[in-house]
Amino acid sequence: MILLLVLAVLVFALLLSWISLVKESRRFNVPGPSPLPLVGNAHLFVVKSSEFLNLVEKFMNKYGDAFRVHFFSTPYVVMCHPKYAEALVSSTEHITKGRSYSFLTCWLGQGLLTATGQRWKSHRKFLTPAFHFNILQNFLPVFCKNQRNLTEKLRGLADGGPIDMFPLIALAALDNVTESIMGVCVDAQKHSQSEYVKSIEELSAIVTMRMQIPFFGEDAIFNLLPYKTRQDKALKVLHGQTNKVIETRREELRKANITTLANSNDIGIKNKHAFLDLLLLAEIDGKKIDDESVREEVDTFMFEGHDTTTSGIVYSLYLLSKHRDVQEKIYDELKTIFGSEMNRDPTYHELNQMKYLELVIKESMRLFPPVPLIERKILRDCEIGGLTLVKGTSVLINIYQIQRQPELYENPLEFRPERFEAPLKNPFSWLAFSAGPRNCIGQKFAMMELKITISEMIKNFYILPAPQEPELSADLVLRSKNGVHIKLMPRK
């Protein structure tokens, strides 16, 4: 009798759950599959991460350029066309990042990537000058030095065999971002097994896992698992390193009696400490920024300037390996710029002269955007781009699919850099650096690094295709489950 009563209660609870989910789904004017009790549509997404983008494409083909699903009780709306994405990314109101970004707060705190509201607005305003070209050009020697180290390493591997470029480029990118943002070289390319490098890899893997495995995203469950201990260990290393750098630099500024940005030029603001000094010396509402906020911003830019740039570079190299004619056009452009001095480092002005290379990079990032999906949380019932959205909805902007729309790009799967010579039919059809008020603040930093790396690769190597095709995986950035392989042969 008791068992029957328990079963009746469970059935009743499931029925109420189903009625609630169906009722809520009808508040949207967005098509999508009917939700099941408790799980919503979560069961449809139990797939390998390498199958996720294909699954989303199937939903788009079935339901249209915007569709709705319920992940347990949370409604998601996926936008696959710029006519919807434009309204959202252009909004100054809907700037709150979605739930998946919360898994980064243990590492990045309330840095620029994860913050919202007034904190985000004030930090975005005072951080923008850190990416002015007057400061960026001073990072050029750092990028060139680390690229020389990478080139030497690749010479030893350039025997015509397949090379997975992702881990190699990732280490070089880590050297670039730590030295330019923190003013400290971790020498990741020579010390790939260091505690700091391994901690970044460990934490990135754990955050990705929490995003992909539903129950691991719940703190109550995650905190009981051994991954929590591993996360805490990695955080101790990463936060400890950043805090040490902040403490050392603050003491240098104190001893030199440097209290404002105006008199900081004498000891490095025009050199490797530009970004860190900006944080340590700047004021918000008349108050100096506390060390915890400095750490959060330093860690945020270290994170954002590492994996995303790596993804942009490796997929550009992958596409170039399949298009020898494009490689030679880049090489011809470089010969025009450098003449008989092909072995020297570029100047900042010469990077800006690499117009065709920039077309190649944009086309590569169209086909393989480093961040394939971005997420925003809707904080009130509203209408965006003609779509009725309910408070609490998470909206996914599917950049990967938007940039492959046939109505926006002729033969969208073809690699055709020249398509960017003319203005885009819709400026929101290319969102590799996002757009609107929350666009990528470091896009000039990234483009500079991309140009240096790819141009030096073209100067020194023929890039050839490898037999392995990447199995795309939408993790924190666009990765590949089996690596991104090319072959290299020396030009000289």
More confident residue, 131 or 329: 329
Predicted confidence band of residue 269 (pLDDT cuts 50, 70, 90): very low
The confidence score (pLDDT) of residue 94 equals 92
Lowest mean per-residue pLDDT among 133-137, 201-205, 369-373: 133-137
Res. 18: pLDDT tops 60: no
Q: Cα torsion for 102, 103, 107, 112, to the nearest 10°? A: -30
Model pTM?
0.92
Percentage of the residues of the chain whose pLDDT score is greater than 90: 66
List Cβ neighbours of 267 (8 Å cut-off, separation of 6 or more): 252, 253, 256, 258, 273
pLDDT of residue 5: 62
Residues, the chain:
492
Q: Identify whether the C-beta of residue 330 lies closer than 8 Å to the C-beta of residue 452.
A: no
Q: What is the per-residue pLDDT for 268?
A: 46
**58-81 mean pLDDT:** 93
Q: Give the chain's mean pLDDT.
A: 89
What average pLDDT score do residues 333-343 get? 96
- As a whole number, mean pLDDT of residues 21-45 equals 76
Q: What is the pLDDT of residue 419?
A: 97
- Average pLDDT for residues 44-57, to the nearest whole number? 86
pLDDT in tens, 403-437: 999 999 999 999 999 999 999 989 999 999 999 99
Residue numbering of the annotated binding site: 440
Residue 371 pLDDT grade (very low, low, confident, very high; cuts 50, 70, 90):
very high
pLDDT at 243 over 80: yes
- Mean pLDDT (whole number) for 111-126: 91
Q: Domain extents for the chain?
A: 73-490
Q: Are 210 and 222 in contact (CB under 8 A)?
A: yes
pLDDT computed for residue 267 by the predictor? 45
pLDDT at residue 34 is higher than 90 = no
What pLDDT was estimated at residue 341? Answer: 94
Return the closest-CA partner of residue 275 out of 132, 422, 434.
132
Whether 25 has a pLDDT exceeding 70, the answer reads no
The Cα–Cα gap between 358 and 300 comes to 26
Binding site per annotation, positions for heme:
440
73-490 placed in CATH 1.10.630.10: yes
In the predicted structure, residue 151 carries a pLDDT above the cut 90: yes
Highest mean pLDDT among 12-21, 216-225, 449-458: 449-458
Q: Are 398 and 78 spatial neighbours (Cβ–Cβ below 8 Å)? A: yes
